Amino acid sequence: MKAFNKFEEQLSRFFKLVTAIALFVQMIIVFLGVIARYVFNNPQPWIDEISTYLLVVITYLGGCVALRSDKMAGITFVREAFPPKIQKVLCIISDLMIMVLMFAIAYYGFKLCSTPTVLKQKTPTLQIPVIVFYCLVPISGFLMELSTINRLVSHIRGTEIKVEEEGAFTE
């Protein structure tokens, strides 16, 4: 389990970097798009296209990071109102439900990516194969499934997964 935690930590660190870069690039591109559209009255269609795909990257890779570091949005006051043993059971039930959802995302994302339409399709303006962006769906679903399994095992054992955070992503 320690080896998997180390792998997951390195992957999370890489995803944080990619997500931060994608967010920075998206911010610059959208700013340039606003200037081009409203100052020079010359809208650039590639700006909308690339900012949409960068949002996909940010969403799916950021989801992996958030799930790994237990930073997903949640309503914890309900769980915290119960005694510790019931809290543990609720965490296990929650993890099982997340596992079902992540399996569905990975499975149907893979099915989507393997369709001939997606494999042949390119983005309208930049002519980038859309599979580059669509493949993030099953990959992130699979990685979030593994993270949830790891978290479920730690909840069952009563141990806590140590998540080391650094830089701009810390509280």
Select from 79, 98, 78 the least CA-distant residue to 88: 79
Does any domain span residue 166?
Answer: no
Provide the residue range defining the domain that includes 100: 2-159
Dihedral Cα 25, 28, 33, 34, nearest 10 deg: 140
Q: What are the pLDDT digits (tens) for 16-26?
A: 999 999 999 99
The number of folded domains in the chain is: 1
Does any domain span residue 20?
Answer: yes
Cα–Cα distance for residue pair 62/55, rounded to 1 Å: 10
- Residues ≥6 apart with Cβ < 8 Å to 139: 60, 109
Does any domain span residue 168?
Answer: no
SS3 category, 161: coil
Does any domain span residue 171?
Answer: no
Does any domain span residue 13?
Answer: yes
Does any domain span residue 117?
Answer: yes
Cα–Cα distance for residue pair 57/73, rounded to 1 Å: 19
Q: What are the pLDDT digits (tens) for 126-159?
A: 899 999 889 999 999 999 998 888 888 887 887 7
Does any domain span residue 27?
Answer: yes
Look up the pTM and report it.
0.77
Q: Give Rg (Cα) of the chain.
A: 19
Q: What are the pLDDT digits (tens) for 35-55?
A: 999 999 988 888 989 999 999
